[in-house]
Structure 1
Amino acid sequence: MVIARSTGLVRIPEAMSSVDAAPLLCAGLTVLSAIRQVGSRPGALVAIQGIGGLGHLGVQYANRLGYRVVAIARGTEKAALAKQLGADEYIDSSVEDPGTALQNLGGAGAIVATAASGSSMSPLLPGLPPRGRMIVVGAATDPLTVSTGDLVFGTRTITGSLTGSAIDNEDNLDFSMRHNVRPMTEVFPLADAPKAYERMMSGKARFRIVLDMAAG
């Protein structure tokens, strides 16, 4: 038996599988809450940095909310996936400075930084126009370093974002259901939890590991 506060429970749409709901209740709410802070008009350029567990959902949400989406990641292997998820542009940060690339696109009204790397976030700030905002949701072990001039003279803002309330999550699942936002998952039976954990820690999972307690 599981006992939980009623205020913390979330209704899951009948047509949504538990495998899809599980990542959306955590990673999905995290990025959707961040994107809802953007405050730009539909059609504005919004950048999603990192195409992983958070970022692959962030690209979908930003696209469904009507933004022009640019995905930022290292290498070319995720370019096709980013476009498939709804990105209009792709920046390979291993071959070009992402801040300069964003400025060449007109500047991103907001950047949602999902990669757990402060060093990869630091070059992004110059890609914001005046009064642009970078919203950090990727928890990194190394610091994010910025030029004070980029903040002061660009009147730019860096802010962190976490998740949301139970009712926010119900709205999130409803939005995801209606707009076909889906996580990419790898499903393991509960008996293979150690193997699933190893797969997750290897960084090779695409992109969320889900344990199916009903699977044999």
Structure 2
Amino acid sequence: MTVVASGVCGADIGTAAATGKDTVFPVTPGHEVAGYVAETGDQVEGFSVGDRVAVGWFGGSCGRCARCRAGDVVHCPERMVPGLSYPGGWSESITVPVDALVRIPEGLDFFEAAPFGCAGVTTFNAVRNAGIRAGGRVAVFGIGGLGHLAIQFASKLGYETIAIARGTEREKFAGQLGAHRYIDSAVQAPGAALKELGGADLIVLTASSTAAADELLSGLNTHGKLTLVGIDAGAVTVPVAGLVMHGHVVTGHLTGSPRETQEAMRFAVTNGVRAVVERMPLQQAGEALSRLREGAARFRIVLDSSAGG
């Protein structure tokens, strides 16, 4: 696969810093990859040279285990991840299993498509698979690389959408993304603010820190769900009484299959959902990673493999 665009994701920080005894050098991160088929193996069917394709966090599975046979390839014990299981997309080309490929629909260019392999499908699935009532209330905590997509998906799926972030400078942008309300977490505890509104049916926590999770639980409606898509080494303290009395659900969500990634892309084309992307030349991958590590990259940085050095 010839790489045109490859996203820079928070998970790439750990990949690039890999030092374990099982690490194979050189390390090539990158699991949000878009480009076109350069050549195919002898037994590959369904894809041809020149096809516009993408590969995301899901980079292949065994196809034999109980999870795979149930269609849950994302949780295959032998699931592969580009950049970890084999060289990733921060390069001019990448070789991937055919079952990991996604067709890029007309209407998305390579730089728009790349983030859907991780950030896009993750937030799309987190909202659409939550099982909440039609017209329900969805709150998105954090307006960053994941959150700005989650807000768009929630709004376009027809939910009353509430954006939560610290400070007032993001309020206007949240409205442009489709948020109907904005909560400034510097002024009011977000869980308490949601409770005053009647509670959220779904809270999607997209921040990289779980510190806010405990307080956010107080903002759930009856049968409400808190879904964590941003992760760290923290923990969530769940009051058992509230969990039982109000039927609350606390869950995590990880990426999506190639079929789901393609569905997310098609939904995006039809409904005008796009990642906010900053392009940087592939040769500046180190700088892009530094910006992400320092918190200086607000949304999605996508590396351009076609840009000159």
- TM-score (ref. length: structure 1): 0.95
Q: Which of 228, 249, 253 is matched with 1:157 structurally?
A: 249
The reply on whether 1:88 has 2:180 as its aligned counterpart is yes
Deviation at residue 213 of structure 1 after TM alignment: 0.2
Equivalent in 38, 41, 45 of residue 137 of structure 2: 45
Paired with 2:173 and 2:236, the residues of 1 have a C-alpha distance of 27
Report the CA distance between 1:77 and its aligned residue. Answer: 1.5
**Structure 1 counterpart of 2:262:** 170
Shift of 1:200: 1.5
User: TM-score scaled by structure 2?
Assistant: 0.67
Q: Write out per-residue CA displacement over residues 110-131 of structure 1, whole angstroms, 9 at most, x where no aligned residue.
A: 1111111121121111111121
Q: How does 1:26-175 map to 2 (within 5 A)?
A: 26-175=118-267
Tell me how far apart the structure 2 counterparts of residues 75 and 17 of structure 1 sit (CA, whole Å): 33
- Counterpart of 1:209 in structure 2 is 301
SS where residue 109 of structure 1 aligns?
strand
Distance 1:170 1:51 in 2: 24
| Residue matched to 2:291 | 199
Letter of the aligned partner of 1:90 in structure 2? Answer: Y
One-letter amino acid of the structure 1 residue matched with residue 123 of structure 2:
V
Structure 2, unpaired ranges of 5+:
1-92
Work out the percentage of aligned pairs sharing the same amino acid. 46
Higher helix share: 1
The structure whose Rg is larger is: 2
Question: Aligned with 1:187: secondary structure?
Answer: strand
Q: Deviation string for 1:151-209 (max 9, x for gaps)?
A: 12222110111011111111111111111111111111011111111111121213011
User: C-alpha distance in 2, partners of 1:28/1:198?
Assistant: 22
Unaligned runs of 5+ in 1: none
User: How large is the Cα RMSD of the aligned pairs?
Assistant: 1.3
SS of structure 2 residue aligned to 1:131 = strand
Q: Deviations over 1:55-99 (max 9, x none)?
A: 000000000000000011111121111111000011111211111
